[in-house]
Every structure is written in C-alpha cells, then in structure tokens.
Amino acid sequence: MATAPISASGGMTAEERKVIFASSLGTVFEWYDFYLYGSLAAIIAKQFFAGTDPNTAFIFALLAFAAGFIVRPFGALVFGRLGDMIGRKYTFLVTILIMGGSTFCVGLLPNFETIGMAAPVILVSLRILQGLALGGEYGGAATYVAEHAPHGKRGAYTAWIQTTATLGLFLSLLVILGTRQAIGEEAFSAWGWRVPFLVSVFLLAVSVWIRLSMHESPAFAKMKAEGKTSKAPLTESFGQWKNLKIVILALVGLTAGQAVVWYTGQFYALFFLQQTLKVDGATANLLIAASLVIGTPFFIIFGTLSDKIGRKPIILAGCLIAAVTYFPIFSALTHYANPALESALKNAPVVVTADPADCQFQFNPTGTKKFNSSCDIVKAKLAAASVNYSNEVAPAGTPATVKVGDKVFTSYSSAGLSKEDAAAKDKAFSKELADAIKAAGYPPKADSEQINKPMVLLLLTILVIYVTMVYGPIAAMLVEMFPTRIRYTSMSLPYHIGNGWFGGLLPTTAFALVAFKGDIYYGLWYPIVIALTTFVIGALFIRETKDNDIYAGD
C-alpha cells in the first residue's frame, strides 16, 4: 500500500524540506535563465544576430525571448500527460534535465561569426526546448509538493516554490556581476558572458542528484498501486466537459488575473521605471530587487493564511485591490521618480492630428508587422518619449502632424522608401521632435537627485505584495481543483496559458494601448480589465478548495 498523507501535526520534517527544496530548483532555473537572457540581451544580440539585416535580427531576438513563453502550454500538455501516466518523479527529472541542459548549451553555442545563420536558429531552438520543459516543470513542482504536504498546510508548503523566483534573480545578478569584475568589461563582452550560462551546470548537477533520491508522491503511488492511473490524460482532461469546464474556469477565473498582477508588479513596473519614467537602469533594477527582498516573505504569509481562510478570497482580493489601485500607484511613481516629467505632462499638452484610417493599433508580439504610416511613426515616437498627447481628426489622405507648444511638425510615411531614405527622414524628424519635446519641459531622463527612493521603494513593495497575494496560494488551489489521475495535465495548461500568454503579452499590449490613446498610464487598462474579469468570474463560479481531498483518484 502507498504512503498515506503526512500528518499535519508538528513542524516540517527533513523529508518535507527536501521535497520543497528539490521541487523549487526548477523555479530557480526558470528565473535564473530569464534574468540572464534579459540582462545580457544586448551582448547576445551582437553575438548571434550579427550579419543579418536589422529587421531579421529584431525578429530573431524577439522570437528567442518570446519562444519560452509561447510554447509553455504545449510543454504543459506533453509533460503533464507523462506525469499523469508514468509518475511525477521521473517526469520531473526529465524537465529539469532539459531546462538545465538548454541553459548550459547557450554558453557553449558558437556565435554568428563562427557558424552563420545556424547560431540564431539553434539559440531559438534552445529557448523553445526550455519553454517546453518549463511547461511541465511548474505543474510537476506544485503537484509533487502538494501531494507530499500535510492536510491543512498545502498552501504554506507550495508557497515556498514561488519564493525561489527571487533567488533566481539574485543568483543571476551575482554571477554576472562577479564575472564582470573578475575579467573586465571587454573580456566579458567578448567571451565572459558565457560564464553565467556555463556555471548553471553546477545548479543542474545538484538538482538532478537531489531529484534522483526522491520518492514518488504518496497520492500517485497510492493510485498506481490501485491500478487507477489514467491511460489518456489529455482526453480525460480536455475531452470531457466536467473537467474541461474546470480547466476553463481555472484559466479565466484564477490564472489570467494572477498572471497580469504578477507581471505588472515586477516586469511592467521595471519597464515603466526605465522606459516611461527614464530612471537609469542600475537604479531601477536595485529598487525592484529591494522590493522583491522585502516582499518575498509575504508569499509564505499568504500561502499559510490561505490554509486557514481559503485560497479564493486571498487571490481574488489581490486581483481586485490591484485593479482598483494601479492608476494611483503608477501616478505616484511618476510623482516620486520623475517630478519634472509629471510637471511637463500637466503643463505642456501635445496634439496629434491624423487621418484615423492612417493609424493602426500597434500590437506586434511577433515583430513581423510594420507600422510605417505617418500616424504610426509619430505616435510610436511620442509613446517612447513618455509624452502624453490628445488626438484630433485630420482630412482623409493627409499626413499626420504633431503640435508641441506653439510648434507644428508634419510626420512622414516610410512606406515605399529605400532603407537609406527612410533612415535619413527618421533622423531628421526624430531630432526635430526631440528638440521640441525637450523645449516643452519633457526631461530626456530622470534626475537622480530628484528621485524619492524611499517612496518609490514603498510603492514597488506594495505592487510586490499584490503579487504575493495572487501567487502565494495559486499552486495549492490549482492542485486541489483536479483529481489525482489527471492533476498534472489539467492544472499545468491553464497555469501556462495564463502566465505564458496573458502575462507574457502584457508589455507588448500595454505599449500598443499607450501609443493608441496617447496616455502613459493607458496601458494599465490591460491588467486592470483582466484582473477584474478574473475577480468577477472567480467570485461567481470558482469553489473554495482548501478542504478538498487531493488523494481522491476520480
């Protein structure tokens, strides 16, 4: 007979700590690689995309970054099916090997100069492999920990998985900083950038060694001993309405809102500080890192609290509070991080006059679409410069104009122009527009002496606490929503569609909204609408799960 559920009495045992540690290593790998690639993107672009034209290079760079998000749901199907058929432990071992191996191989990959176009193709392939493995990793980690946890402590135990994202961030920063200081910037750009990817092999070795020593989860072992494992997890999960409707509800009533709150609180907040408020990268990253350190314990706090009062009220409260307060919080970030920009936004109105037929919604997740009309060009430049503007309608067929103060500039269309002519026009128009914007009081960058760092840190920490509310209890709740025989498959898909697609598309969608409306805060409507939708659907249709029997096989 299989192992029974662990008693909830007493503290955490050594075996339970080992289970949590082994399961969390995949999350460390995920965020270690994510921050490595993000931090070293400029160097990687030069190494692997050199020799291609700018458009091709941009497409490859975007694909290499986005591939890991896009393919996650497919990885959830592949590895979720294996996890429900052959067991958590062995599937778990395969996913960490693929994730760790992909990260390590980036450090070995010859650059464009050595093997030509094969370099970016292989890089994108490695990112896809890692994304596929990650699609099976989180569901396996959450399932494995929850099925080992004592009844009444699943929220607290699974919340530990979420805290390791912070560890992955700091580990990547330490390795990059240490390598740069040891060998110098010139050597780092030439070959030293490979070191952070290569040293990940030590993390991989520890992960594999620990996971080889783990036992199968009690719930799966019990079900296997009784001969109740699923022969067709995909069919049972998505081909039967009684389970498919729970998968759909888990996506729209839980993970979609959780994902946009997560990405807004960390990645969009960083994007907003750097790109919109023009805070220098070092200061912005340090403030975000400090807020993560302060906020990380709240993952455990809210996970533990969910064992007492339920998962649903905490997750939905996080979605609602975030949606209600995003506008005032991001407005306050502008006030404390770049008061000169706040003043310019109030006192120097800008007007774009354009034919509506000339203006597109600049949503471009694949990097293949071109926005080359006179309206698209001027709106993209104003959005990138953090300039608010109002829109007025121009007669059909006329080029777009922009009025800054008492000066009016006519934009241009790059359609049909040669690369050289388009570059020349862009240079001239960009300088003319930038000079006018600067004269109107819009600062090219935030004045470091005017940044109120304690207040910015406080606001960022509040955003991270929202993240911990929605993310701390989510693993336990998803595990508890589905029967053991198809749990791995069923919970993985909504989680990775929510986080890979709804969350991963947030920066692209937010920028398109800002360029469309002409308001630097307008991009916040994307996470607000998704979070409110999740709150309403979750409140009406999602049942509380904390007292569910997760050892049931049916």
Q: Is 369 exposed, middle or buried (0-12, 13-18, 19+ CB in 10 A)?
A: exposed
DSSP for 284-297 reads: HHHHHHHHHHHHTH
How many other CB atoms are there within 10 angstroms of residue 33's CB atom?
A: 26
**Domains assigned to the chain:** 14-229 (1.20.1250.20), 240-338+446-554 (1.20.1250.20), 353-439 (no CATH)
- Give the Å distances, CA to CA, from 77 to 29, 140, 492: 21, 12, 8
DSSP for 453-477 reads: HHHHHHHHHHHHHHHHHHHTTHHHH
Q: What is the pLDDT of residue 422?
A: 82
Q: What is the pLDDT of residue 530?
A: 97
Q: What share of the chain is helix, strand, coil (3-state, %, to 5)?
A: 75, 5, 25
Q: Phi, psi at residue 401, to the nearest 5°?
A: -125, 155
Per-residue pLDDT of the chain (554 residues; tens, 9 = 90+): 334 444 444 566 777 777 788 777 777 877 787 778 767 766 887 888 776 555 455 456 656 666 777 888 888 888 888 877 777 777 878 888 888 888 899 999 998 888 888 888 898 888 888 888 888 777 778 888 888 888 889 999 989 888 887 788 778 878 888 888 889 888 988 899 999 999 989 888 888 888 787 776 676 677 677 666 667 777 877 888 888 999 999 999 999 999 999 989 988 898 899 888 989 877 887 898 899 889 999 999 999 999 999 999 999 999 999 999 999 999 999 999 999 999 988 888 888 998 888 888 776 655 556 778 888 888 888 887 878 888 889 888 888 899 887 788 888 888 888 878 888 888 888 888 888 888 888 888 889 899 999 999 999 999 999 999 999 999 999 989 988 788 878 888 888 888 888 887 787 788 778 878 888 899 999 999 999 999 999 999 999 999 887 775 55
Q: What is the pLDDT of residue 52?
A: 58
Helix (H) or strand (E) segment spanning residue 143:
helix 118-148
The reply to whether the predicted model has a pTM over 0.85 is no
User: Which of helix, strand or coil describes residue 305?
Assistant: helix
User: What is the DSSP-derived secondary structure letter of residue 409?
Assistant: E
